[in-house]
Amino acid sequence: MGEVIHKRHKPLQVNPFKLSQPMGATLAFLGIDGCMPLMHGGQGCTSFTKVFFTRHFCEPIAIQTTAVTDAIAVLDGGNYSIVESVKNITKKVTPSLIGLHTTGLPETKGDDIRGVAAQIDYPLIYVNTPDYEGSFESGWALTCKALIEQLVESTETIDDNKLILLPHISLQPIEVEKIKEFIEGFGFNVFVLPDLSTSLDGHLGDKQAALSSGGITVAEIRRLADAGLVITVGDSMQGCATVLQKKNSEMRHQHFSHLQGLEATDALAALLLTETGFSGPPLPVARWRQRMQDAMLDSHFSLGQTRFLVAAEPDHIAGICQSLYDAGGKVTLAISTIDSPQLEKIKAEKVLVGDLEDAEQMADDYDLIVGNFHCEALAHRLHKGLVLRGFPNWEQVGNPLKNDVLYEGGAYFLFECANAATEMRGRQTG
């Protein structure tokens, strides 16, 4: 594709939209039913994370902190604060699982969380996610990997009807559900790890939840290994499948870099047809493909005269750019939070790892921004169009139900971008 710059060129980040690894881990644990994510670090990391997701999802967020203080930080190897936390959490609630994930503080002093976890007599999964490494996307993937390694029971039997879906972090709950339903339409029994589609999909439950309410159950995770096929979506998730295959060498793996746009959706449909031997897809799928084709044609005029900046996590950028590219949108600049092999494949004229100051400095290169909440000030100041995507979106409600994937979501997404571009041009000339 175009030029790719893999490294930051500055000593600092200015107006960052990168998010931290432990926050990605938290979100992954929130896709497990009845889970209590436990962040190991100072109380602020947890507080920031809680507020961050509460505002994005408009839902109460379950999370606790080991509340490491300076005295504990110096004297303790993590044992005290973790053991005490588990005691105090289980005094009030009975989680199906405690999701222990670290931050930079305990990692700097080298806490042995694996050793501590071994001492704890309660269902607990641990994962090392220092926030001075990786980012949001990798925190989610590492947690998924840890869940598989520590929970899934090995087996040699295969259930050809059972399929595992491992989605990347930037897929909103409804998108996960739509992919799940798409596959189920071909007769598969689908399990998603982690599964936000039934936990943070913005549903009104029966009571206030102190734990995550919905998601895949711990029992279901334990029994995942007999699935005939695992599908990963997003390059960050590819490694998780390898770990899963260690639990059952008979399990097959298919990878998708993303599931946005006609081509990627076609590839998924083709795979499912081959797997099932069906001659055609369920009727609604065929219908939605025709609507998607029509949407591409209807939106191409507006998109074709629009230059885009896409700022997101690598796996998310890949999907957005492909979708726009297919209908003639010119992604002149894509900014990624972090480096990834995905960047080489992105359909954009220029791809770089950077921040929103970079976006501001290259403002002449694009007309419309697809990015998170922090892009709003930028769009406003530079009079650019804006389509809000990614974490966080504190400006709008309804985030968990925004669907950009497969034929159906793809149609919605193109319409939204085309309309935003038209509206922007109207504002500029009017």
Partner 1 sequence: MANKPKIKELLDESSCAHNKTRKTACNAPTPGATTGGCAFEGAQISLFPYADAAHLVHGPMTCLGSSWETRATGTSYTGRDLTQMGFTTDITVNDVVFSGEEKVAASIDYIMEHYSPEAVFVYATCVTAMIGDDIDLLCKQASDRHDIPVVPVHAPGFVGSKNLGSRLGGEAALAHLIGTKEPEKTTNFDINLIGEYNVTGDMWQYTPLLEELGIRVLSTLSGDGRVAPICTAHRAKLNVIVCAKSLVSLTRKMEERYGIPSISLSFYGRRDTSNGLLAIAEGLGDAGLIKRTKRLITREEMKLTEKLKPYQKFFKGKKAVLNTGGNKTWSIAAALQDLGIEVVATAVKKATEDDREKARETLGKHGVLMMNPGIEQAKIIDETGADLLLAGGRSLYTAIKKGIAFADVNQEKKKSYGGYAGLLNLAEDLKNALQNPVFKNVARRAPWEK
CB of 50 to partner 1, least distance (A): 8
Would you tell me how many other CB atoms lie within 10 Å of the CB of residue 337? 25
Kindly state whether residue 276 participates in binding partner 1, applying the rule CB under 8 A: no
Torsion of Cα atoms, 369 then 18 then 405 then 302, to 10° = 10
Region of 61-69, 321-329, 339-347, 362-370 interacting with partner 1 (CB under 8 A): 61-69
Taking CB under 8 A as the criterion, the residue among 35, 37, 81, 379 binding partner 1 is 81
DSSP-derived 3-state class of residue 2: coil
CB of 38 to partner 1, least distance (A): 7
Contact criterion met (CB below 8 Å) for 27 and 373 = no
Cα(327)–Cα(295) distance, integer angstroms: 9
Tokens of 65: 């902190």
CB of 70 to partner 1, least distance (A): 5
Binding mask 19-48 for partner 1 (x = CB under 8 A): xxxxx--------------x--xxxxxxxx
Positive or negative torsion for Cα 269, 195, 57, 134: negative
CB of 71 to partner 1, least distance (A): 8
CB of 282 to partner 1, least distance (A): 25
CB of 340 to partner 1, least distance (A): 16
End-to-end CA distance of the chain: 36
CB of 414 to partner 1, least distance (A): 29
Contact criterion met (CB below 8 Å) for 175 and 323 = no
Kindly state whether residue 382 participates in binding partner 1, applying the rule CB under 8 A: no
330 forms beta bridges with 307
Binding mask 306-345 for partner 1 (x = CB under 8 A): ----------------------------------------
Kindly state whether residue 85 participates in binding partner 1, applying the rule CB under 8 A: yes
Omega prior to 194 cis, within 30 of 0 = yes
Residue numbers 167-226 binding partner 1 by CB under 8 A: 204-205, 207-208
Taking CB under 8 A as the criterion, the residue among 4, 5, 80, 185 binding partner 1 is 80
238 Cβ contact list (under 8 Å, min separation 6): 232, 255
Would you tell me how many other CB atoms lie within 10 Å of the CB of residue 153? 12
Q: Which segments of 44-177 are extended strands (E)?
A: 64-65, 97-102, 124-127, 159-167
Cα(165)–Cα(19) distance, integer angstroms: 24
CB of 206 to partner 1, least distance (A): 8
Taking CB under 8 A as the criterion, the residue among 1, 15, 245, 298 binding partner 1 is 15
Taking CB under 8 A as the criterion, the residue among 1, 4, 5, 73 binding partner 1 is 73
Taking CB under 8 A as the criterion, the residue among 105, 151, 233, 387 binding partner 1 is 105
Taking phi first (over 0 means left), then psi (-120 to 50 degrees means alpha), and beta for anything else, what does residue 111 get?
Answer: beta
Kindly state whether residue 59 participates in binding partner 1, applying the rule CB under 8 A: yes
Region of 53-61, 153-161, 260-268, 304-312 interacting with partner 1 (CB under 8 A): 53-61
CB of 371 to partner 1, least distance (A): 13
Contact criterion met (CB below 8 Å) for 368 and 384 = yes
* CB environment 346-362: b (16+ within 10 A), e (fewer): bbbbbbbbbbbebbeeb
Omega prior to 341 cis, within 30 of 0 = no
Per rule CB under 8 A, count of chain residues that contact partner 1: 70
Tokens of 307: 């230059």
Tokens of 259: 């599931």
Taking phi first (over 0 means left), then psi (-120 to 50 degrees means alpha), and beta for anything else, what does residue 142 get?
Answer: alpha
Residue numbers 112-151 binding partner 1 by CB under 8 A: 130-133, 135
Kindly state whether residue 302 participates in binding partner 1, applying the rule CB under 8 A: no
CB of 208 to partner 1, least distance (A): 5
Kindly state whether residue 69 participates in binding partner 1, applying the rule CB under 8 A: yes
Region of 97-105, 167-175, 252-260, 297-305 interacting with partner 1 (CB under 8 A): 97-105
Region of 86-94, 153-161, 172-180, 397-405 interacting with partner 1 (CB under 8 A): 86-94
Kindly state whether residue 95 participates in binding partner 1, applying the rule CB under 8 A: no
CB of 253 to partner 1, least distance (A): 30
Q: Tell me the longest C-alpha to C-alpha distance in the chain.
A: 68
What is the H or E stretch that residue 252 is in?
strand 252-256
208 Cβ contact list (under 8 Å, min separation 6): 60
List residues binding partner 1 (CB under 8 A). 10-16, 18-23, 38, 41-52, 54-55, 58-60, 64-73, 80-82, 84-89, 91-92, 103-105, 108-109, 130-133, 135, 204-205, 207-208, 373-374, 377, 394
